[in-house]
Each structure stands twice: as C-alpha cells, then as structure tokens.
Amino acid sequence: AVAKSLDADCTVSIGGGSTTGLGKALALKSDLPNIAIPTTYAGSEMTNVWGITQDGRKTTGRDNKVLPTFTIYDPELTLQLPAFISGPSGINAMAQAVVNATSSRPNPIISALALDGIRALATSLPTVVKQPNNLDARNQALYGACLCGAALGAWITSLHHRLCHTLGGSFNTSHADTHAILLAYSVEYNQAAFPGGTQRVAEALGVKDAARGIFDLLHKVSDKTNLQQLGLKEGDLDKAAEIATEKACKNAVEVTRDKVRELFFNAYHGNGPGGA
C-alpha cells in the first residue's frame, strides 16, 4: 500500500536474504518490478520462492512474479560483511543446491549448476572468513551463491527446507544459521536414497563423505554449530518435530516424527554425522 501510494515504479532490495525476501513479498502483493542487490551469499535473488511468517507458521510458495527483474552483483558491497554472517550465509545458499543435486529426478543442467555452485562456495568461504578483504574470494562466493540459488529456483525443495522453516517460523531462529547447522543432518537423513547424487556432492566439496564434509565446513566458517546457540531449548525439540511433521512432506525417505526428533536432537547437541 505504501509503495503504491508513493507511485513507485519498482522496489530496490539492497541487503541479505531477508531484505530480498521483503522485496519478493512486495512484488507478490503489488506486482511491482523488483531489483535485487545482494550483500550476502543467500542466493535468494535467483529463486521464485517466497516466504511469509504469520502466527508462528511460515508459509512458502512459488510465483515467477517475485523473481527479481534483474540482479546486480558487486563483491565490494560484501567487504564489510562480518565472518559470522558470511560463513552461514554461504552454506545457506549451498543447501539450495544440495537438495537438487540429491534429487530423485535429477536434471543434468540443474545438477551442473548445483555442483559448480557447491564447489565455488566450498573453496571460497574459508578464505572469505579468514581473509575478509580478499575480493577474489568474495567474488567467487557470490558466483557460487548465484548458481546455488538458480538451482533451487528451477527445481525442488524437500525435507531440509521443511525443517528450517519450522525452526525459523515457530522458534524465530536465524535463517542462515539454521540452514547451515541442519544441512549436514538433512544430507545424512536422505543419503541412502540418493547414493549417486550424494557422492557427487562429496566430490564437489572435495571430500569422501558429503554429510561429514558439510559438517566440517560449518566448523571452519562459523562459530554457531548447534541449535542451542540459536536459542532453542531441549524442551522445544518435541514441539518442533510435531510441527515439522504435521503435514505430509514430499521426500524420498519417509519423514516421521521420531526420525525428525532424532535429527533435531543431534543438531541441538552438535553431534557429528552418525551421532559421533
């Protein structure tokens, strides 16, 4: 209503994934073109996915009119992005690619985008965190985020996003940190159903085991490595598992309350893949 009252020609979203998300919400409600200028590595600017949280529940959907009309990438705009945001932000983008590289219906073009995005982020994020003024690394991270976002924008979501939206929408956990912490556990949950795709993710990461590789990468680029650090209480795990499974989830491996509760338990305590 405000945008229309100003007779705005478009909206301009300068910031991270939440800012881009606001631009998408405005586009959804007002039909205004949306220009995105990302300053983090979320990759949201490349997707047609929108999300709105209301009454403790996050609702998501897809609509091409929320896809930014065009996006401007400038690595210099990310130079002031602190390490504690850079690392989780990049793994958040990586999650968008992982769910598509490990799909029951792999698309060769989407898989190529996803794997190249994973590879770019895996190699650039540790440098971005250790050498924040390294413009080449930040440029590579933006490139990786762009590809990972494009992979999600063109294909699917699954269990991982359901779990993250549950924690973010109902327990107000940080979006990027939640994705970054849960990704290794989500990969482990589904790996038996997608051995080939999971192995290709491992190769893109430069490791033998994808879930372990993501877990180790998180510990290299973020100080927040378990759900306790996001303010979740152990008493919240039962409710979180119930909310995550109250509606059917399209996923290759059966999604049950008990299995999700166990996944949340391991993520809460920061246990490595396999519960180690």
135: Cβ–Cβ under 8 A, 6 or more apart, which residues? Answer: 75, 76, 79
Residue 239 lies in a domain: yes
> Which run of H or of E encompasses 219?
helix 210-221
153: Cβ–Cβ under 8 A, 6 or more apart, which residues? Answer: 46, 47, 48, 49, 67
Residues 93 and 14 in one domain: no
Q: Which amino acid is at 103?
A: S
Residues 10 and 134 in one domain: no
Residues 60 and 96 in one domain: no
pLDDT tops 70 at residue 235: yes
pLDDT tops 90 at residue 179: yes
Q: Is the dihedral of CA 244, 248, 252, 254 positive or negative?
A: positive
Residue 33 lies in a domain: yes
pLDDT tops 80 at residue 56: no
Residues 42 and 90 in one domain: no
The mean pLDDT of 228-232, rounded to a whole number, is: 97
Average pLDDT, the chain: 91
Residue 172 lies in a domain: yes
Residues 26 and 150 in one domain: no
**CATH value at residue 13:** 3.40.50.1970
Model confidence pLDDT, tens digit, residues 98-122? 988 887 777 888 899 999 999 999 9
Residue 76 lies in a domain: no
Question: For residue 155, what pLDDT is reported?
Answer: 56
Q: Are 160 and 95 within 8 A, CB to CB? A: yes
Residues 117 and 191 in one domain: yes
pLDDT tops 80 at residue 153: no
List, as one string, the DSSP characters of 185-214: HHHHHHTTT-HHHHHHHHHHHTSS-HHHHH
Question: For residue 82, what pLDDT is reported?
Answer: 95
Q: Are 16 and 89 within 8 A, CB to CB? A: yes
pLDDT tops 90 at residue 62: no
- Domain membership of residue 43 as a residue range: 2-71
**Cα–Cα distance between 106 and 103 in angstroms, integer?**
5
**Cα–Cα distance between 271 and 222 in angstroms, integer?**
16
- Domain finish residue from 23, 43, 71: 71
**CATH value at residue 211:** 1.20.1090.10
Question: For residue 98, what pLDDT is reported?
Answer: 92
Residues 254 and 189 in one domain: yes
Number of domains in the chain: 2
Residue 164 lies in a domain: yes
Residues 238 and 164 in one domain: yes
List, as one string, the DSSP characters of 102-157: T-SS--HHHHHHHHHHHHHHHHHHHHHHH-TT-HHHHHHHHHHHHHHHHHHHHS--
Residues 25 and 105 in one domain: no
Question: For residue 106, what pLDDT is reported?
Answer: 77
Residue 220 lies in a domain: yes
Question: For residue 48, what pLDDT is reported?
Answer: 81
Residues 132 and 269 in one domain: yes
- Domain finish residue from 46, 71, 96: 71
